Structure 1
Amino acid sequence: MLVELKNDLITKPAKDIYHKYLLGQDVWYFKEHLKLPDHSKKYDELKYYISNGLDIHFNNIAIVGSAKTGISFNPSNKFRYFQQDSDFDIVLVSPRHFEKFWNAYVDMFYNQVIIPEYDSVSKSIFKKFISLKDPTQKHKDIKEWVKTVNPFVKDLQQFFGIAHDINYRIYDSWESVEKYHYFGISQFKNFVANNKKKEMQIAAIISSLINKGNGNN
């Protein structure tokens, strides 16, 4: 898959890569990591479970990140495979939830609550999503969220085999999801293209040295 992904990053536009690797029913974690024969069905069951628990439509839930593809699309991770310390990223598209938690953070800010994750939340809200992993629990809406999702941990492990930390990313729209991933994939494409050029340059230098060593001009 790594070779195919590298080739796609060089030859395909970001939109095609997004559709090929991040959409659809194939989830690396279920298919390859857990080796479930009914991996697509398990994905649907997970979405139904989350949909019922969080009151978010089934079609507005998706697994993303390295749990989906097996490989991180973050250029700084340099094609890092899904590992034991990797998060299991789940996208939730819900304008209602996004606005509620945005307002919760605004309320905490103006009430002078210390928010350790302030910088990361500020950056994510600018991109129209909120990541609720270890949030500051000084607001009733966030406390209610934590109280709701905490029981999921046991069920996700028992019924779905997910033994990794869950990172919920709540977006205001699918358009924001696409923009975020298109941008990330574009950066990834640049990273691969630049490294491809470096590889070719190094190969040319090595070839030149070999030719000189053999007495060829």
Structure 2
Amino acid sequence: MQSSPVVPAMPPTGSAAKSIAPVQHEESDESPIGTEDAGSLSSGVKGAPIVLPANSHFAGLAELQAELIKNSASDFVSRYIFEPVPFAFKGDLNLWLKWKSNLAWMIEVDAREIVLSGSSAMGFSLHPKKNLRAYTPKSDFDICIVSRHHFDLAWRVLRGVDFISGAGADERQKAANSHRAGHIYDGAIAADRILSLFPFGKEWQSALDILATEHPTNGRDLKLRIYRDFDSVRTYLTRGVRYWQASLGSSISDESAIAVEH
């Protein structure tokens, strides 16, 4: 295990672990991306203005449109999701590196294997069903963990799960079944509903409980998705980008739909 001077002592796991008071959260961006029909960017916001803070990558929707046209889906993911400091960290590189180094130390992965997606990464969601929903104080943090080791451990558990009992059994059984039917094919495991099934589940949940008390993730719902490799993450994220690239058949004519904070 790597050493880190900035990580607080690990709390007890299991039933003795510290519980975090629930808050109201928006639906995660980490739901499956399908092949919905693309509409226009302007109709996608359904009349609700998108507030782009001064530290956003884009000054307005027209600039986002231009970047979607100019870049391939894969390059767009690299340029605006993989490489920059995530939107929720407001350009603070030191805070971002400290935060993900702490998480990496607690769950025993390399810090480079941690990526944020969704509105906490870009400031708004590119999920086709989210209509470019802006990041808010209630937004979830969707955390991608790229670890073949943990993916294989989790997949071995899911492969052998036939019946789940206990609290929340129906929801966890449904999640396990859906992974066997779909997510595994994509090299992804949405671990937030079934984390307790895995041999590393208690340690990872304890790490999330700690981060839920620290800035900027304090009070947020932290949702983990385990990916087998970076190609699996990129493949997932490019689906949302391609959706919005396809929607550019209808151009934006009214910039007044965008509210820009300064």
With the shorter chain as reference, the TM-score category is 0.7 to 0.9
Q: CA deviation at 1:84?
A: 4.2
1:107-122 to structure 2, matched below 5 A, reads 107-109=160-162, 112-113=163-164, 115-118=173-176, 120-121=178-179, 122=181
Give the SS at the match of 2:182: helix
Alpha-carbon distance between aligned partners in 1 of 2:189 and 2:226, rounded to the nearest angstrom: 5
Aligned residue type for 1:190: A
Q: Give matches, 1:21-36, under 5 Å.
A: 21-31=80-90
How many matched pairs?
A: 186
> Does 2:131 correspond to 1:72?
no
Distance 2:132 2:123 in 1: 9
**Higher CA-based Rg:** 1
Match of 1:164 in 2: 220
- Determine if the alignment matches structure 1 residue 147 to structure 2 residue 147: no
**Contact 1:116 1:136 survives alignment (8 Å):** no
**1:186 Cα deviation after fit:** 1.0
Structure number with higher relative contact order (C-alpha < 8 Å, ≥ 6 residues apart): 2
Unaligned runs of 5+ residues in structure 2 are 1-57, 165-169, 254-262
State the match for 2:109 in structure 1: 56
Task: Please state which structure has a larger fraction of its residues in helix.
Answer: 1
Larger deviation: 94-103 or 176-185?
176-185
- How far residue 73 of structure 1 moved from its aligned partner, in angstroms, is 1.0
TM-score, normalisation: structure 2: 0.64
Letter of the 2:105 counterpart: N
Separation of aligned partners in 2, 1:175 and 1:126: 13
- Asked if the contact 1:25–1:43 (Cα under 8 Å) also holds between the matched residues in 2, the reply is no
Partner Cα separation in structure 2 for residue 136 and residue 154 of structure 1: 13
Query: Counterpart of 1:45?
Result: 98
Q: What is residue 205 of structure 1 aligned with on the other side?
A: none
1:180 to 236, 242, 246: 236
- Gaps (5+ residues) in structure 1? 33-38, 201-217
Whole-angstrom distance in 2 between the partners of 1:49 and 1:74: 28
- Aligned partner of 2:159 among 106, 117, 137: 106
In structure 1, the partner of 2:35 is: none
3-state DSSP of counterpart to 2:189: strand
SS in 2 for 1:185: helix
Tell me if structure 2 keeps the 8 A contact 1:93–1:173: yes
RMSD over aligned CA atoms reads 2.3
Report the TM-score when normalising by structure 1. 0.76
Q: Is the 8 A contact 2:195 2:205 kept in 1?
A: no
